[in-house]
Amino acid sequence: MRQRPWLFLLPTLILMSISAFVPLMAVINYSLHTIFAGSTPEYVGLQNYTDVMGDPQFRGALRRQLTFSLIVLLIEIPIGVGIALCLPRKGPTVGLSLVLLGIPLLIPYNVVGIVWRLFTQSDIGVIPRVLSMFGYKYNVSLDASDAFMTILLVDVWHWTPLVVLLAYAGLQAIPQTFYQAAEVDGASTWKTFRYVTLPKLRSVLTLGLLIRFMDSFKVYSEPLLLTGGGPGNATTFMSLFVARKAEAYELGYAGASSIIYLYVVIVMSYILFQFINRPPEGKRA
Amino acid sequence: MARIELKSLEHRYASSRKGKSSFAIEDLNIIWEDGTANALLGPSGCGKTTILNIISGLIKPTGGEVLFDGVEVNNRATRNRHIAQVFQFPVVYDTMSVMDNLAFPLRNRGHDEKEVQSRTGEIMELLDLNKLADMKAERLNPAEKQIVSLGRGIVRKDTVAVLLDEPLTVIDPVLKLDLRRKLRLVQRELKLTMIYVTHDQHEALTFADHVTIMKDGAVVQSDTPEGLFLKPSTPFVGYFIGSPGMNMIPCENNSAGLEVTGSPLFIPKSIGGKTDNLEGSIELGIRPEFVETSIKELPDWNRFEIRSLDHAGAYQILTLESGSIRIKSRVEDHFVSKEGDPVWVNFPTDKTNLYANGKLVTP
Amino acid sequence: MRKRSITLTIYFLLLFVPIYWMVITSLKTDVEILQSFTLFPQQITFENYKEIFTSEVWRSSFFNSITYVLLNVVMTLAAAIPAAYAFSRWNFRGDHHLFFWLLTNRMAPAAVFMVPFTELYYMLNIYDTHFAVALAHCLFNLPLTIWILEGFMSGIPKEIDETAFVDGYRFPQFFRTIFLPLIAPGIGVGAFFCFTFSWVELILAKAITLTEAKPVVVTLTVGIGAEGVKWGLLASAGVLTIIPGILVVYFVRNYMAKGFALGRV
């Protein structure tokens, strides 16, 4: 009986060791060596790590990433909750709404990139044309802030539905009686939201926050396709930065930056988690 | 506080199948007097919660009127009806303290802070919540939460009535008694009109001065607890009230009295009473508490055999059999007998009820 | 109520503008795309779609994608269901730590693992196979699915298990006839997320495939290069990649609605 849990976990453990554990060890291994194409790797201890941390390019990418992730959260969570509040709760329209919401989430990331490239290209895109009607010269490939804003917009467009779905699930879980009681107590719409809905959404919102935070660190295809990481470094976020180093076969560097990158994500997620989801103090018997 | 009246109330649920709709309630008429403790008792699903929600305005009835002190309120919004409702599952505002919970209804209506403080102080005193005043509501146990819910209901001085929907459902049995006592105390102190909905007869009978029994969306009987106990108007009320419920014995009318179908029992006219004009299916109803049981044979008493005995502490419940008839009788703790023994049983006239076609026959 | 419908309509419209744009672009001629700016194709052409359907490369790409995605869903569910059951029903030493470690893998950015994967799979001789991609995607699908399923399973009281055992059910029987139907919405939600994330993933899929298992997401990256972009073709390929997704969502929508209604995401 004692062995049963582990038996049940066996398939998972096997799959995860191949997909996760072994590659991770490999990456750590790379990070401790200098590797050149064609020659044997040379053990350098933590040298790569200090190189990476000292590299302004790396620090720039990290800073850009954190800014991006933060702004993304500030926009997507409120909008997501707002839309979820507007969704129907019962009836035939529910299924339809869920399908519509799911569609942006099902588009391969590079198709997203392609579509938005269509939208934003100087020569054939809708956005430059529309904006020029208002007198704004929009150029995603030359203007750094245009590029950054565009990637933001793409992410919001792409991922807010996920927040909506999560918030919706959370809302469905709130029993009607709480709203009835608020009605009986004469609470205004805002007060009902603040004292009933929001507290009860806390765990789901934490989830949404964490998922979006972690996933925003992975943004890769969209900047790659839309701006190539530019202009200059304006939209070179962490994932892009590391992938470039790996493609250039600077595996030692890539390995070290990967580990730091991973570490940052885990630590920040943990902090966020603790901050938002303070465990409730003990309940009275 | 006010007098609440339901006139010809009717409500049906929208149904998923076209054409067929089910009435939850049909042609309901009930009056609850101002300042009284009332219970609405009935098996689950008979429409009790629907009625409460109609009174508080959370549901709009498909027909009929709801009147507070004679004024129709059908079109008044919930927040303007000044109703307090305590739900089955405790509802508190988790993020607020107990005191803020109680203050919530007052603050929502714009009372000034001094007034809010003094009134919540009064209520906390009455409900014995002072020690918990600053505690966050989510930390309370269910019984405490229900008290806070009740507090929110009575904190407003203009509350018209307090509606309670099976409030003790999730409460620990140990704490139920205490909570019931508090409810009763509050009702008496503040002279509130309270309507307590439950399917538990014990709760209803001990709390209320007036009990309305419902089944399948209609009122079966509305009376004081004694009235319901002594003179149930239908066999259903007889079964439902009392533990164990009333014995019902099917009979046939013959010139000399009542013959009991399927048994050698015979109820002479002197006991059966005015049976002459009774037609249709006849039943004799008598509560186990009133069945007179004797070990010794007595004239005119009927013979039964003991099928089983249940000791319940201060008394025993005997299951007695005669032919195909089984009844229960309640006897004292020291009644000595065993299974298979014969006993002689009498049904005292004043405690025996006759039912024709499911309705009580009144002399 | 009115405010809600308006907000929703606006939101959905905004959401679909890019998709609409992609659809009409796929129906335009290349000339029209580059020269003029029209809200509706002047000349509707199915040329692009024809090219895709007749092209061996595109056809096999679609086939590859669907294959490894389905493979992944099956593999993930097969491993996740027992694992979630173990986490939900039993407390064992290290269970919390294991669970947390599993979740951290979900955080792992694929870029980190690109090279090791390539090398590892090469070594194991499964490079450029459907199985490889399905396996690689387990990295993030498995933790997520276990997490979702564990949530659903915890919503089912242990008493049901115990009653079944007392009634004489053997474990496999109990699992198949009683437990699985109860968590069906959870499985639906899990399968949906697996399908979604696997279908859209690019970095790993690109890294470990070459020609045999080349998925459509990779084929789509071709055509963005020096010679100029064939927008019409890409748009139509794009549209086609969305369709399987739409079908899947459509079919599981009731499970999803139920799953969401149970509030255990």
- Output the domain CATH number for residue B330: 2.40.50.140
pLDDT at C226 over 70: no
Please list, in sequence order, all residues whose beta carbon lies within 8 angstroms of the beta carbon of residue C259, skipping any fewer than 6 positions away. A169, C152, C185, C186, C188, C189, C265
pLDDT digits (tens, 9 = 90+) for C69-124: 899 999 999 999 989 888 888 877 777 778 777 877 777 777 777 778 888 888 88
pLDDT for the residue numbered A42: 79
Number of structural domains in chain B: 2
Best to test chain A binding among C107, C161, C192 (most A CBs inside 10 Å): C107
Interface confidence, given as ipTM, is 0.78
Contacts of C82 in chain A (CB under 8 A): 8-9, 11-12
- A93 close to C (CB below 8 A): no
pLDDT for the residue numbered B62: 85
The overall average pLDDT reported for chain A is 82
- Cα torsion A9, A13, A16, A20 to 10°: value is 130
Here the CATH number for the domain that contains residue C109 is 1.10.3720.10
- Please judge whether A108 and C260 are an interchain contact, meaning their C-beta atoms are less than 8 angstroms apart: no
Averaged pLDDT, B80-85: 87
Question: Is A touching C (3+ C-beta pairs, cut-off 8 A)?
Answer: yes
Task: Tell me: do B278 and B149 sit in the same domain.
Answer: no
pLDDT at A73 over 60: yes
Where among B234, B264, B290 does a domain terminate? B234
Least trusted range by pLDDT, from C41-45, C126-130, C177-181: C41-45
Residue C144 CA to residue C193 CA, distance in Å, equals 8
pLDDT digits (tens, 9 = 90+) for A219-230: 888 888 778 777
Paired sense of beta strands B302-311 and B257-260, if any: unpaired
> Is residue C130 situated within a structural domain?
yes
| Residues on chain A bordering chain B, Cβ-to-Cβ distance under 8 angstroms | 175, 177-178, 180-181, 183-188, 191, 195-196, 199-200, 280-285
Task: Tell me: do C15 and C138 sit in the same domain.
Answer: no
The overall average pLDDT reported for chain B is 84
pLDDT for the residue numbered B16: 43
Task: Tell me: do C15 and C97 sit in the same domain.
Answer: no
pLDDT digits (tens, 9 = 90+) for A202-216: 877 877 888 888 888
Task: Tell me: do C256 and C155 sit in the same domain.
Answer: yes
- Please judge whether B56 and A181 are an interchain contact, meaning their C-beta atoms are less than 8 angstroms apart: no
Where among C10, C25, C45 does a domain terminate? C45
Task: Tell me: do C39 and C67 sit in the same domain.
Answer: no
If one compares C37 and A21, the residue with the highest pLDDT of the two is A21
Task: Tell me: do B152 and B254 sit in the same domain.
Answer: no
pLDDT digits (tens, 9 = 90+) for B245-276: 888 888 877 666 677 776 777 776 665 556 56
pLDDT for the residue numbered C260: 64
pLDDT for the residue numbered B21: 52
Task: Tell me: do B213 and B270 sit in the same domain.
Answer: no
From B184, B164, B168, select the one nearest B176 (Cα to Cα).
B168
Where among B215, B234, B253 does a domain terminate? B234
Task: Tell me: do C119 and C219 sit in the same domain.
Answer: yes
pLDDT for the residue numbered A276: 60
* Sign, Cα dihedral of B223, B224, B229, B231: negative
Task: Tell me: do C104 and C36 sit in the same domain.
Answer: no
Averaged pLDDT, A4-13: 84
Residue A235 CA to residue A222 CA, distance in Å, equals 10
pLDDT digits (tens, 9 = 90+) for B4-37: 888 888 887 765 444 445 667 778 888 888 888 9
Alpha helices (H) along chain C: 2-26, 30-35, 47-54, 56-89, 95-107, 110-123, 130-154, 158-166, 171-174, 180-182, 184-200, 203-207, 216-219, 231-261
Q: What b/e sequence results for A172-184 when a residue is b if at least 16 CB atoms lie within 10 Å of its CB, and e otherwise?
A: bbeeebbbbbbbb
Cα A260 to Cα A29, A162, B115, C7, distances in angstroms = 14, 28, 59, 42
pLDDT digits (tens, 9 = 90+) for A241-267: 888 887 777 778 888 888 888 888 888
- Of the pLDDT bands very low, low, confident and very high (cuts 50, 70, 90), residue C144 is confident
**CB of A150 closer than 8 Å to CB of A139:** no
If one compares A145 and C217, the residue with the highest pLDDT of the two is A145
Averaged pLDDT, A156-164: 92
- Please judge whether C8 and A87 are an interchain contact, meaning their C-beta atoms are less than 8 angstroms apart: yes
pLDDT at A281 over 60: no
pLDDT above 70 covers a percentage of chain C that reads 90
Q: Which of residues 170-189 of C touch A (CB under 8 A)?
A: none
- Helices B113-126 and B142-154, interaxial angle, to 10°? 130
**CB of B329 closer than 8 Å to CB of B317:** yes
Q: Across-strand partners of B343? A: B304
Task: Tell me: do B87 and B191 sit in the same domain.
Answer: yes
| Residues on chain B bordering chain A, Cβ-to-Cβ distance under 8 angstroms | 53, 56, 58, 78-79, 83-85, 87-89, 91, 93-96, 104-105, 108-109, 136, 138-141, 144, 149, 152-153
pLDDT at A35 over 50: yes
Task: Tell me: do B217 and B296 sit in the same domain.
Answer: no
**CB of B25 closer than 8 Å to CB of B50:** yes
If one compares A276 and A48, the residue with the highest pLDDT of the two is A48
pLDDT for the residue numbered C264: 46
Averaged pLDDT, B339-352: 85
- Please judge whether A183 and B139 are an interchain contact, meaning their C-beta atoms are less than 8 angstroms apart: no
Here the CATH number for the domain that contains residue B190 is 3.40.50.300
- Of the pLDDT bands very low, low, confident and very high (cuts 50, 70, 90), residue A77 is very high
Least trusted range by pLDDT, from A189-198, B98-107, B211-220: B211-220
Residue A18 CA to residue A152 CA, distance in Å, equals 34
Other CB atoms within 10 A of residue C11 CB: 20
Nearest to A186 among B94, B105, B138 (CB): B105
Residue C139 CA to residue A82 CA, distance in Å, equals 32
Averaged pLDDT, C246-254: 78
pLDDT for the residue numbered A117: 81
- Please judge whether A108 and C202 are an interchain contact, meaning their C-beta atoms are less than 8 angstroms apart: yes
Task: Tell me: do B87 and B179 sit in the same domain.
Answer: yes
pLDDT above 90 covers a percentage of chain B that reads 10
Q: Give the 3-state secondary structure of residue B159.
A: coil
pLDDT for the residue numbered A74: 94
pLDDT at A280 over 60: no
> Is residue C50 situated within a structural domain?
no
From A165, A84, A152, select the one nearest A120 (Cα to Cα).
A152
- The distance of B60 to chain A (nearest Cα, Å) reads 14
Where among B188, B205, B234 does a domain terminate? B234
> Is residue C153 situated within a structural domain?
yes
Averaged pLDDT, B132-158: 87
pLDDT for the residue numbered C127: 80
List the domain range (segments joined by +) for residue B258.
243-360
Task: Tell me: do B340 and B318 sit in the same domain.
Answer: yes
Report which listed range, A30-39, B124-133, C25-34, is most confident. B124-133
Number of structural domains in chain C: 2
> Is residue C129 situated within a structural domain?
yes
Element at B292 (helix H, strand E):
strand B292-294
Task: Tell me: do C95 and C208 sit in the same domain.
Answer: yes
Other chains touching A, judged by 3 or more CB pairs under 8 Å: B, C
Task: Tell me: do C38 and C84 sit in the same domain.
Answer: no
- The distance of B84 to chain A (nearest Cα, Å) reads 7
| Chain B residue at shortest CA distance from A187 | B108
Task: Tell me: do C164 and C247 sit in the same domain.
Answer: yes
A236's tokens = 């070179």
Task: Tell me: do B10 and B128 sit in the same domain.
Answer: yes
Please list, in sequence order, all residues whose beta carbon lies within 8 angstroms of the beta carbon of residue C49, skipping any fewer than 6 positions away. C26, C236, C240
Averaged pLDDT, B135-158: 87
From B359, B109, B62, select the one nearest B235 (Cα to Cα).
B359
Contacts of A285 in chain B (CB under 8 A): 141
The overall average pLDDT reported for chain C is 79
pLDDT at A156 over 90: yes
Burial of A35 (0-12, 13-18, 19+ CB in 10 A): buried
| Chain C residue at shortest CA distance from A222 | C202
Task: Tell me: do B212 and B66 sit in the same domain.
Answer: yes
Contacts of C259 in chain A (CB under 8 A): 169
Give the neighbor-by-neighbor strand order of the sheet with B302-311. B292-294, B342-346, B302-311, B315-322, B325-332
Q: Across-strand partners of B63? A: B10
pLDDT for the residue numbered B102: 92
List the domains of chain A with CATH numbers.
26-276 (1.10.3720.10)
List the domain range (segments joined by +) for residue C37.
1-45
Q: Across-strand partners of B254? A: B257
Averaged pLDDT, B196-211: 89
Q: Across-strand partners of B353? A: B285
- A221 close to C (CB below 8 A): yes
pLDDT at C220 over 80: no
pLDDT at B181 over 80: yes
* E strand map for B127-281: 161-165, 194-198, 210-215, 218-223, 247-254, 257-260, 266-268
- Of the pLDDT bands very low, low, confident and very high (cuts 50, 70, 90), residue C261 is low
Averaged pLDDT, B119-126: 89
